[in-house]
Structure 1
């Protein structure tokens, strides 16, 4: 099992001191630390951090990651890529294989244990799995599901359903993701001049691969796309740590 944290995108929100969102701190715990603890619940072989070279040089994120986990792999992102697909493919040498792969956004937090989500995907013997919550806001990715529960289509920034994606993407084989990601790029199928992870899932559909949906209640999903969302999550985290 390989975990890839995508940490190269732009975001309007910043934590105090102009640090990246994932370095926001509550009771001496970074959001990044909380995210690492979350994925460690499934005992991955590697946790791969696709992180901006600027953040490595400016904030020593590589040292932070290695201090927080002994299975960290650092993949620097030099400059601005054309989207999450391109950032993830920088880790190609680690994920183009038959091992399971989970791609995560570092600034989207899910409260349901990852072990439970992974077990759901494994039990259904799917080729790919996604986590959804309810939203129609065009900042998210979306999936359309037919009356039989079959995944029909994915869209980016266009609400084709109320099923928004929570930025946890599972592939039973990392090579499936790599192959589909390369197909998206070959087709030059950009959205707002970028390539998105959801587009690889449309390629999976074209290959007649089985895709499973795991739905969670909105109370278990904590995006940090805006200052308000970040403040809300930090408050929830603070309350959680105080109760420990």
Structure 2
């Protein structure tokens, strides 16, 4: 079965600015919260799946985030409470292990991006190509993203954090053919201390996959089909 994991522990999701009473994730653009935009791609899926959200306890105490998740995603969404911060999205996602079986497919996405593409079609393409780890990329050179590095044969050889080693940046959408594969790659990256500035990004387990020799592929989407609500300035740009 397909399991979709949304890590929501990152402090950047709950930042406020001087003109905002609510945190970034609950800011509204044309009557919809950033969180709603981030989950809109789920409507494209025609198959059944389980939603798993990992959020900090303070977010529910201050903003009743659980109720918002259930209204936006599903009343049956699984919600995992975290009392403290984690060492990064990779560690956060591992907390969802109680809700998956080894043979389940895994998608990891974020709560502060907008994907204006049919993700069901993209996942179907990964399946047709027997992809073990699937990525989604777009054109950029900004140092806030992670980047795909390819060799002369156009094969993916590395994913690099916060450095434009190409113009192929990654969205926060990751597909894993099996949950057992994700667990093995993630724990290997952690055991080897594959962190960047003491943060374990999902790119760390992608590099472990490349080292193992499993099939990693990426599909490129049009840049205007992807928007990341990186900060309040980006929210203003999206509104415009």
- Normalising by structure 1, we get a TM-score of 0.89
Q: Does 1:120 align with 2:121?
A: no
The answer as to whether partners of 1:6 and 1:84 remain within 8 angstroms in 2 is: yes
Residue 178 (structure 1) aligns with: 183
Residue 92 (structure 1) aligns with: 97
RMSD between aligned residues: 1.8
Residue 24 (structure 2) aligns with: 21
CA distance in 2, matches of 1:88, 1:20: 22
Residue 142 (structure 1) aligns with: 147
Helix, strand or coil: the match of 1:51?
Answer: strand
Q: Structure 1 pair 51/234, CA: closer, same or farther in 2 (3 Å)? A: farther
CA distance in 2, matches of 1:129, 1:22: 26
The answer as to whether partners of 1:180 and 1:200 remain within 8 angstroms in 2 is: yes
Segments of 5+ residues of structure 1 without an aligned counterpart are: 236-244
187-196 or 33-42: which moved more?
Answer: 33-42
After TM superposition, the structure 1 = structure 2 runs for residues 17-96 of structure 1, keeping only pairs within 5 Å, are 17-42=20-45, 43-68=47-72, 69-95=74-100
The answer as to whether partners of 2:6 and 2:110 remain within 8 angstroms in 1 is: yes
Residue 159 (structure 1) aligns with: 164
Residue 238 (structure 1) aligns with: none
From 224, 229, 235, the equivalent of 1:230 is 235
Shift of 1:9: 1.1
Q: Structure 1 pair 51/145, CA: closer, same or farther in 2 (3 Å)? A: same
The answer as to whether partners of 1:32 and 1:106 remain within 8 angstroms in 2 is: yes
Residue 222 (structure 2) aligns with: 217
CA distance in 2, matches of 1:44, 1:225: 30
Shift of 1:165: 0.5
Q: Structure 1 pair 146/44, CA: closer, same or farther in 2 (3 Å)? A: farther
217-226 or 90-99: which moved more?
Answer: 90-99
Shift of 1:96: 5.0
Q: Does 1:5 align with 2:6?
A: yes
The answer as to whether partners of 1:2 and 1:44 remain within 8 angstroms in 2 is: no
Q: Structure 1 pair 184/59, CA: closer, same or farther in 2 (3 Å)? A: same
The answer as to whether partners of 2:38 and 2:115 remain within 8 angstroms in 1 is: no
209-218 or 43-52: which moved more?
Answer: 43-52
4-13 or 90-99: which moved more?
Answer: 4-13
CA distance in 2, matches of 1:146, 1:44: 37
Segments of 5+ residues of structure 2 without an aligned counterpart are: none
